Amino acid sequence: MFSKSKKDNQIKYYKSLDDLPFYNWKKIYIEKDLKYLIINYENGIFENIHNLESKLELLWTKIYDEYINDFGFTKKMERILNLERQISIITCDIWIQNNKFLRNKLAILKKQLENEKKNTLDEKGNDYDRQTILIEKWLQSSINIKHTSTRKYFTYLNLIDEESKKYNLKEIKNGKD
């Protein structure tokens, strides 16, 4: 996985939403590569480091749990989890009943899941790019996602969402809807 040897105690890691730059979050999410949890990973390539992958997996799990606890699931993530749950249940029912109708339903649900995942984020990260532009528009200033913490990034999105809901409620109360 990594090729230049470094001692494990010399490696520094991002350990929370507060210190993980959003750029790294985006890279991890899109590329599915946990090397972005290593601070200055581009300065060295790593191999033969005892349990590096498992350490990175544990760190990512901790950071992602922190994200879920603080920001919750998006509606798209809830739809994906619901589809995955339905697929699991139907798969178990197929094993038990060997019902051809359930096989067709399973194929349909898998296609829906594939489409939902495809719509969540494309390979280029366009959803994140659009969110970044929205934040910059709201702030009336540009942000550097290499220096903006992941917590701060998602907090901006939550604040924008809250403001837009307040604005929509004001318009409804004033009879503009």
Query: Do 42 and 104 belong to one domain?
Result: no
Full domain range(s) for residue 79: 75-120
| Residues 45, 2 contacting (CB under 8 angstroms) | yes
pLDDT tens across 7-46, in order?
555 788 999 999 999 999 999 988 889 999 998 766 555 5
Instruction: Note whether 51 and 137 are same-domain residues.
Output: yes
Q: Is the domain of 135 the same as that of 67?
A: yes
Whether residue 154 sits in one domain with residue 67: yes
Residues 84 and 142 in one domain: no
| Number of folded domains that form the chain | 2
**Residues 58 and 137 grouped into a single domain:** yes
CB contact at 8 A, 117 and 98: no
96 and 60 share one domain: no
pLDDT in tens, 54-111: 899 999 999 999 999 998 887 778 888 899 999 999 999 888 887 778 988 999 999 9
pLDDT at position 100 is: 75
Angstrom distance (rounded) from CA 18 to CA 70: 12
Burial of 42 (0-12, 13-18, 19+ CB in 10 A): exposed
Which among 41, 27, 40 is positioned nearest to 145, based on CA atoms?
Answer: 27
> Which among 152, 142, 135, 159 has a CA at the least distance from the CA of 18?
152
Give this prediction's pTM. Answer: 0.69
Domain identity same for 6 and 62: yes
- What tokens were used for 86? 């339905």
106 and 166 share a domain? Answer: no
Regarding whether 11 and 96 lie in a shared domain, the answer is no
Same domain assignment for residues 11 and 81: no
Q: Looking at residue 167, what is its pLDDT? A: 80
Looking at the structure, tell me whether residues 44 and 130 fall in a common domain. yes
Helix 126-139 and helix 150-173, axial crossing angle in degrees, nearest 10:
70
